[in-house]
Structure formats: C-alpha cells, structure tokens
C-alpha cells in the first residue's frame, strides 16, 4: 500500500501529544472518558506505526521527512526510520498503549497523568525517529521531565527522592550528550547536526573523537544503565507506579541502548573499536553484578529492576562486539542486541505490570510476606511464571533468540568473556525460581482475603504483551529480517 503522501512519521510522533491537548481542552470530568481518549490516541499511534511498517522499512534511513528549522546552525526538523529504530517505534507504541490500559485504575488527577504519559510517548517516539542531533536532544530531555512528574506524583512511599535522583542523575548524562553533540557539530566538515551526514561521513578524529566517544559513552551508560552509573535505576523503578516502571524499563532504557548503536557505533566507530575492550569489561561486569544483586533482593520489584541491569549488560556486550569486528559475527551480535531491546521491553514491561497487579492485591512487595498465591490467583501466577521464564532466557520465549545471537557472535571474538558473562544465566534462573517458589508455591497463610484474580482491564494490558513474548520467541524472524537488513547495510 502507498501512504507516501502522508508524513507518517510526524503523524506517529505527534498523535499522542494531540491526544493530551484534546484532554486539556475537553477536561473530561469522568476518568473513564479521559482514559478512553488517551487509549484511543495511543491505539491510533500504534496504527500509524503499523502503517509505517506497511510502507516498507528500508535497510538505510528512509521515509525521511525534513523541514527547515535553524538553517544558520545546520539544524533542521528531520525524521526517518531504519531497521534499528522501527522495532523500537513499534515497541514504544505497543507498550504505552498497554501501560495506559493497565493504569486505568489511577483516579488521582487522572487527566494530568494521561497527559503526561502521552507527552512522554511523543518524546520517546521522537527520540527514535529523529535524524537531527538537536531534535534528538530536545526529545531526549523532554522524557526526563515527563518521567520526573510521573514518579514524583503517582509513585510509592519514597517517590520524591526517587524522582529527584532520577532527574538529576540522568540530566548529568544528557548534558554530556549535549557536549558530545556540539563536538560532533563543530568537527563536522559542513557544520551540520544532520545524523545521516554524520553517519555517512564521520569526520571527527584523534583526541576529539576519543573525548566525544567517552562523552557519548557516559551519557548512554547512565541511561542504559551500566555499572557504576546504575544507582538511580533500582530506586526509580521501585518507586514508580507500575505503568511508570514498565515504560521506564521497557522504553526509556532503550533510549540509552539505541543511542549506543546510533552514535558511538556509527559516528565514532574508530574510537569505539579502540576502547571496545573496556566497554566489554564493563558490560560483562554489569551483567554479572545485576544478576548477583538481583539474587540478594527480597523486594520483588527491586529484583525485577536489577534483572534489567543484567539484561542491559548482555545488550551492550553485543554492541561492543559489533564495534570490534567487521565479520559476520559482529553482525550476528548486533542483530541479537537490537532484538534484545525489543525482548527486554516486552518481557520486563509485562513483569512490572504483573508485579503491580500483585502489589495491588497483597499490599506489599516483600517476597517474604507473600506465599501460596498460586491457588488464589491462578491466572496471575501462570502469567508471571511465563514472563519469568522468558526473562531467564528459556528457549521459545522472547529473550532466547536475542541472547543466543549475542553469545554466538561474541564467542568468535572474545570466547573467555562469553564464558564469564554466561554465568549470569544460571543466576537469573535461580533467582526467578526462588521468587516463584516463595510467592506462588507453598500454602496460603490463614485469614488471607485478597481481591479477585486479574480483571479484564489487567488482562487486556498483559495478555498482548505475553503473546508478543511468545511470538518473538517462536518466530524471531518477524523482526530479525528487518533488523538484519539494516545491520547488514552498516557493513561493519
């Protein structure tokens, strides 16, 4: 089909914020109406994203939309997609829709909550679609403001501290990003912020390239996060409302990992190759550290949060492998890393929603205070176990094809590092099995009267994500063919 007359990328990006404006103008009194509007616009966004897919995702950056903005500085409004960014656009549209459905129970200042979530969705889509450093930065920063207010207003007991830590910490990261972007601009031949030009013709070299690489590294390492820049993550993930955590882990962390691929890997490739061994050491350490610390948690939400750190370690390991080697193994690792972004978004997103549902019923996140819930909540327990198996990398579920490719690609270049990083797998297996054992198995304490099992609102949010988990696990090629076309085009 041909929609080429429509600026589909801009429509996708700005549909959510139009929804927010509609809510601002109509000021619906009923929270149901407000959620109706929000969910309708989130669905339209997903639809528009699918139309981009039908239009055809090229191997290079395509469907470019460009408008003049600040010509004196070589800044323009430029959007475009390729096989790396489109899966993330799809993930964003999908995860925001399900998170919004899941949060329909939030009644406190619901209008503002929905508006913030929709604004955040526009900002995230904008980050993935931007083809201009300046525009990218604008969207990148707006995500911080949106997330700050979501955590600070609708979070749990330590929400204000968590929100401020998140805001300041990630702001430091993005300010390093700003400096790196300015360096890329000043050292480019034509003084431009155009991402396409900077990728096809990376002119920055020498010390400037090294400093720029480390600026980008710090920025994205904080966002991803990698050890030792991860300390904001457990606090923010634990204190945010369930949908906030799902979005935070599912989409916002991907801003960092996507950045690693789009900027250091494509714009300062030589510097990345030179320093890749350091990055690999950090990634391996991050993966193991995340796994071990997750093992030590008694708060189930914190545990899931730390498994994110573990998965991000694998992911950056894959990217670093791609930076080192130009052979097919680098490409395989990069394919895995991109797929890992999607798998992690879907799986961890659904895990946080399930933990939220669990907390709504038991009133606690402490695993020691929960036991024997399988009989009372068979559906919730079943879905949680499935998502947990996906997260620990069981074949047939979403994480397996991604991590398998990362390890396969890495084995060719750094077999020892793979041997070490793979220790993370049994540890995550152990911690999930222990959690399942504690929370769902055993006997229910006497006198426990909880709510009913998952309701239709929760099922509408969770089941699509579970289906996606299975789909990616069984048929990863649905996304991999698109991803591979682009990584192949990189010619690494």
Specify the residue, 28 or 464, whose C-beta has the smaller distance to other proteins.
Answer: 28
Beta carbon of residue 119, minimum distance to other proteins (angstroms, whole number): 12
- Neighbouring residues of 481: CB distance < 8 A, sequence distance ≥ 6: none
Specify the residue, 139 or 411, whose C-beta has the smaller distance to other proteins.
Answer: 139
Specify the residue, 95 or 183, whose C-beta has the smaller distance to other proteins.
Answer: 183
Q: How far apart are CA 314 and CA 407, in angstroms?
A: 8
CA 453 to chain CA centroid, nearest Å: 28
Beta carbon of residue 70, minimum distance to other proteins (angstroms, whole number): 5
Helices 206-223 and 269-295: crossing angle, nearest 10°?
A: 20
Specify the residue, 18 or 145, whose C-beta has the smaller distance to other proteins.
Answer: 145
Tokens of 318: 């894959």
Helix (H, G, I), strand (E, B) or coil at 352: helix
Specify the residue, 184 or 280, whose C-beta has the smaller distance to other proteins.
Answer: 184
Beta carbon of residue 487, minimum distance to other proteins (angstroms, whole number): 31
Specify the residue, 160 or 452, whose C-beta has the smaller distance to other proteins.
Answer: 160
Contacts 24+ apart (CB under 8 A), 368-374: 368/298, 368/438, 370/300, 370/438, 370/439, 371/438, 371/439, 371/441, 371/442, 371/443, 371/444, 371/445, 372/440, 372/441, 372/442, 372/443, 372/444, 372/445, 373/439, 373/440, 373/444, 374/440, 374/441
Specify the residue, 168 or 423, whose C-beta has the smaller distance to other proteins.
Answer: 168
Specify the residue, 109 or 328, whose C-beta has the smaller distance to other proteins.
Answer: 109
Beta carbon of residue 20, minimum distance to other proteins (angstroms, whole number): 13
Q: How far apart are CA 255 and CA 92, in angstroms?
A: 11
Helix (H, G, I), strand (E, B) or coil at 120: helix
Q: How far apart are CA 33 and CA 234, in angstroms?
A: 34
Q: What 8-state DSSP symbol labels residue 15?
A: H
Beta carbon of residue 144, minimum distance to other proteins (angstroms, whole number): 8
Beta carbon of residue 406, minimum distance to other proteins (angstroms, whole number): 33
Helix (H, G, I), strand (E, B) or coil at 465: helix
Beta carbon of residue 239, minimum distance to other proteins (angstroms, whole number): 13
Beta carbon of residue 2, minimum distance to other proteins (angstroms, whole number): 32
Tokens of 391: 């997260």
Helix (H) or strand (E) run with residue 299 in it: none
Residues binding other proteins (CB under 8 A) = 69-73, 134, 137-138, 141-142, 144-145, 149, 152-153, 160, 164, 167-168, 171-172, 175-176, 178-179, 182-183, 185-186, 211
């Amino acid at each position: 089909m041909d929609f080429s007359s429509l600026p589909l990328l801009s429509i996708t990006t700005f549909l959510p914020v139009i929804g927010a404006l509609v809510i601002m103008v109509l000021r619906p009194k009923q929270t149901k109406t407000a959620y109706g509007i929000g969910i309708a616009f989130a669905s339209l966004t997903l639809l528009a994203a699918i139309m981009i897919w039908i239009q055809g995702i090229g191997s290079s950056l395509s469907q470019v939309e460009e408008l003049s903005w600040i010509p004196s500085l070589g800044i323009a409004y430029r959007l475009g997609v390729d096989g790396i960014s489109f899966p993330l656009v799809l993930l964003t549209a999908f995860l925001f829709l399900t998170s919004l459905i899941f949060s329909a129970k939030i009644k406190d200042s619901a209008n503002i909550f929905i508006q913030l979530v929709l604004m955040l969705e526009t900002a995230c889509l904008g980050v993935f679609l931007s083809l201009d450093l300046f525009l990218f930065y604008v969207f990148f920063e707006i995500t911080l403001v949106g997330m700050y207010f979501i955590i600070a207003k609708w979070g749990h007991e330590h929400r204000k501290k968590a929100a401020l830590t998140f805001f300041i910490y990630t702001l430091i990261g993005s300010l390093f990003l700003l400096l790196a972007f300015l360096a890329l601009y000043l050292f480019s031949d034509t003084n431009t912020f155009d991402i396409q030009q900077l990728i096809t013709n990376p002119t920055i070299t020498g010390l400037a390239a090294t400093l720029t690489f480390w600026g980008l590294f710090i920025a994205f390492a904080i966002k991803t996060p990698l050890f030792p820049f991860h300390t904001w993550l457990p606090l923010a993930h634990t204190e945010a409302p369930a949908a906030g955590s799902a979005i935070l882990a599912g989409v916002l962390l991907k801003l960092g990992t996507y950045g690693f691929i789009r900027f250091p890997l494509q714009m300062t490739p030589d510097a990345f190759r030179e320093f890749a061994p350091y990055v690999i050491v950090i990634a391996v350490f991050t993966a193991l550290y995340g796994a071990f610390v997750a093992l030590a948690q008694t708060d189930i939400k914190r545990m899931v949060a730390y498994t994110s750190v573990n998965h991000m370690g694998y992911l950056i390991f894959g990217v670093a492998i791609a930076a080192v080697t130009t052979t097919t193994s680098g490409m395989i690792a990069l394919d895995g890393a991109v797929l890992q972004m999607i798998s992690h978004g879907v799986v961890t997103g659904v895990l946080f929603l399930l933990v939220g549902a669990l907390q709504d019923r038991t009133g606690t996140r402490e695993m020691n205070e929960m036991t024997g819930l399988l009989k009372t909540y068979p559906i919730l327990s079943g879905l949680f176990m499935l998502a947990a198996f996906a997260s620990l990398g069981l074949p047939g579920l979403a994480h397996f094809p991604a991590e398998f490719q990362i390890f396969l690609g890495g084995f060719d270049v750094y077999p020892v590092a793979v041997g070490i990083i793979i220790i993370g797998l049994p540890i995550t297996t152990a911690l999930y099995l222990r959690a399942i054992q504690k929370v769902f198995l055993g006997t229910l304490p006497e006198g426990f009267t909880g709510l009913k099992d998952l309701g239709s609102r929760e099922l509408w949010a969770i089941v699509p994500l579970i289906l996606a988990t299975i789909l990616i696990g069984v048929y990863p090629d649905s996304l991999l063919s698109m991803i591979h076309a682009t990584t192949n085009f990189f010619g690494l």
